[in-house]
Structure 1
Amino acid sequence: MRFLYLVVDDLNADAAEMTRLAERGQALVGSDDVFDVTRIEIGPGYFYESVVGGALVVPGVLHAVSRHGADYDAIILGCATDPGLDAARSITDCAVIGGGEASVVLTALLGRTFGIVTIAESAVPELRAQIRRVGAESRCVGVESIETPFADVDRKYEQARDAVTEQAVSLRDQGADSIVLSCMSFGFTAMAQDVSARIGIPVLDPVRAAVAAGHAQAITGTGVSRKAVPRLENPGFLHDYLGRFSQVSLDSGLTGYAPALPTTAAQSRKDSHA
């Protein structure tokens, strides 16, 4: 399968960071699949998880899905609150996967109950809405935060791992049969495996869950139901609207515009050594 991962939370990520994501993502899926990475072109330069940040990236998500959907089997949204998920699904026949949604759904295969550990308290309301959306509210024992910037999940890995472990133990002791790590940054580390070994129950990260969901759709030959998410019949107005973003100067205090880095992992690696 051909996966495209959309970076939505750091439009200023340099070539080295894009290469890190591409190489770790490719290692995750293996040689039989392709894992490319690109940034959205419209959205905040950088944001922590919040309802405002999530809303601001939706135009960029729609632009990227419209641009790249025909070239990939699945597009993975690079935020575990899944910003713009249904809207993106409405404009393409490519599978659009939300890692947060996929993780919560997969917990049903691991036990009766689950808990969520995320990086910021500001993301908790969105995650609770996500749980309700998939009908899993009665199975969730709680949502906890480690209050850590997403970049520090990798840069300060041991500190982040200890904080995640502490919250995961609390959720386990409250009755969780499994744990969801609800930030995509966790998926580019060994966090899920390390924490699972420490606490003795399954731990899911949203990147691997998204890849699994993409494979599940491919193997079963299914896609999103157009009864649930109707196809946008007249996309011209959307394209006109998105086109305006490249013609206006956005307030740098709130949002920014940045061109996408090359999509392919190979080109990203080349650029990082230029």
Structure 2
Amino acid sequence: MHEIKLPKTLREVNVTRYVMPLREGGSLPALAEADDGFNYVLKFKGAGQREKALIAELIGGELARKLGFKVPEIVFAQLDAAFGNSEGDEEIQDLLKSSQGLNLGLHFLSKAITFDPGATKVDEDLASRIVWFDSWITNVDRTFRNTNLLIWNRELWLIDHGASFLFHHSWENWERHAASPFSTIKDHVLLPRASALERVDEEMKRIVTPELVEEVVEMAPDEWILASRDTETAQEAKEVYVSFLKMRLAQSHVFVNEAIDARKALI
């Protein structure tokens, strides 16, 4: 087996024990233990959206971290070929077998609670930044039904970015996606609190640099990108991710205005 070159910006762990599935559904993420003694929420490349969900999770999560949001540590998680042989659940065993090799893990925040918009009031500046960010990366999965926000140590943490980057499911239309508004933002759990979108837009455009975008996209392993066969080379695909984010940033007024109009309809 050839040696996989991993970006040095993420740690790598070996999964030692499957603890339990975390929820029902196609992706079946799991709580797992690794050889560093920590528990991780494990995202499998053999699940529903396969490697594309892991790419979105990595790029979305690390962009969020670099922009100052609280995000659990993301690690590369190696799954041994023999792992899961003793698993009694046939569906889980099939998932583990199809996920041998490189997967993704997020540090498990013990005793964290799911964000409840009725119980916790989020600062309007923070809410605006999160709404802006999710519009930028086209993250459809931060709704009242599934907030993908946790409260841990009295702080708001962002999780689960695997449903971002909608364009990479229909690769040839990426330029159209980059220039499009993000109508799904109307369902965002924090939209009612996002009163500072125009100011946040100006701030974010100063913070997000081409170097920041390129550094994060480069972290995506080539083998994940090439698995979908959307491009001839991994570098070609990475250039599309970078171009998508840069183009969307340059035209941020399109998705910001969409969010502002959607918020007006709510309040």
User: In proportion to residue count, which structure has more helix?
Assistant: 1
User: Normalising by the residue count of structure 2, what TM-score does the alignment of the two structures yield?
Assistant: 0.28
